[in-house]
Amino acid sequence: MRRRAGIGAIQKQKLEQEKYRDKGTELQENQFEQMAKQLEVFRTNLEEFATKHKKEIKKNAQFRRQFQEMCASIGVDPLASGKGFWSVLGIGDFYYELSVQIVEVCLATSYKNGGLISLDELRQRLIQARGKSKQHQDITNDDLLNASRKLRIFGNGFSVYPIGKGQYVVQSIPGELTMDHTAVLTQAANSGKAHVSVSMLERELKWETGRAEKALNHMVKEGLAWLDSQDPQEKLYWFPCCFAACINAS
């Protein structure tokens, strides 16, 4: 018959488990401490790098993107740091100024596109508006996406929606686009024609007629799409926010 473990053996086993647990906690704390020291050294080096290359960061788009990636790797967001070292660099000011210009372009074009503009067209208009006054600073779509973070303070009045690989639209009117609406925009952008029809949505998205008509009628009502009844075969729905993307594609 097998003997059961005595009380002394059980207590000894519990003490050994506690020792292993304490040792594991100690090792984990040491690892965290070493990681914290390494991150602090990295942060210091990053500040020195930013000071040395301040002009390049603000003027060179690729350099600026790489700098943002380095910051993100250690949890530093210079755009959100309004005080201290990062504010002295003025990097955040670049994006604040850019976000203001984004609002100006969106408001100036909303009468024709219903408050929906592609990121490509937005970039083209911003480059034209800025001209040579900014010492030929190159603005990329990444810059526009970063600047759009500043617009979140306006709630859902300013939102960015992906409509395909590397393609985005900026919405500058209150309200949110549904998944059906973004699917329609994606279809219009990918078609290379900037327009869709009910039959196209039925064919490409496998939608029923009622679903397609509901989405399109809403977008026409909101000024996001233009209705073309002159086509002899069927009604076409044009999207001004896709014009620039389709022109560039052609």
Residue among 220, 214, 221, 217 nearest 239 (CA): 220
Evaluate if residue 50 carries a pLDDT over 90. Answer: no
pLDDT at 1: 47
Band (pLDDT 50/70/90 cuts) for residue 46 is low
Give the residue, 9 or 123, on which the prediction is more confident: 123
Look up the pTM and report it. 0.63
The segment with the largest mean pLDDT, out of 15-24, 175-184, 199-208, 224-233, is 199-208
Q: What does the pLDDT average to over 87-112?
A: 77
pLDDT at 246: 62
Band (pLDDT 50/70/90 cuts) for residue 215 is very high
Look at phi and psi of residue 106 and say left if phi exceeds 0, alpha if psi is from -120 to 50, else beta. alpha
Percent of the chain at pLDDT above 70?
A: 64
Point out the least confidently predicted range of 112-126, 152-166, 184-198, 217-231: 152-166
In a domain, residue 69? The reply is no
Dihedral of alpha carbons 62, 63, 64, 69, sign? positive
Where residue 249 sits, what CATH number does that domain have?
A: 1.10.10.10
In a domain, residue 84? The reply is no
pLDDT at 183: 94
In a domain, residue 14? The reply is no
Q: Taking a C-beta distance cutoff of 8 angstroms, is the pair 98, 144 a contact?
A: yes
In a domain, residue 215? The reply is yes
In a domain, residue 248? The reply is yes
Evaluate if residue 227 carries a pLDDT over 90. Answer: yes
pLDDT at 86: 47
pLDDT at 88: 46
Q: Taking a C-beta distance cutoff of 8 angstroms, is the pair 184, 196 a contact?
A: yes
Give the residue, 168 or 150, on which the prediction is more confident: 168
Band (pLDDT 50/70/90 cuts) for residue 32 is low
In a domain, residue 190? The reply is yes
In a domain, residue 224? The reply is yes
The first and second tokens of residue 38, run together, are 């390494």
pLDDT at 19: 64
Number of folded domains that form the chain: 1
Q: What is the pLDDT of residues 109-165, one digit of tens each?
A: 888 888 899 998 999 888 887 765 554 457 888 888 888 877 776 666 688 888 877
Q: Whole-number mean pLDDT of the chain?
A: 77
Q: What does the pLDDT average to over 182-197?
A: 91
Q: What does the pLDDT average to over 63-85?
A: 64
Evaluate if residue 65 carries a pLDDT over 60. Answer: yes
In a domain, residue 97? The reply is no
Domain that holds residue 218: 177-250
d(CA 241, CA 115): 9
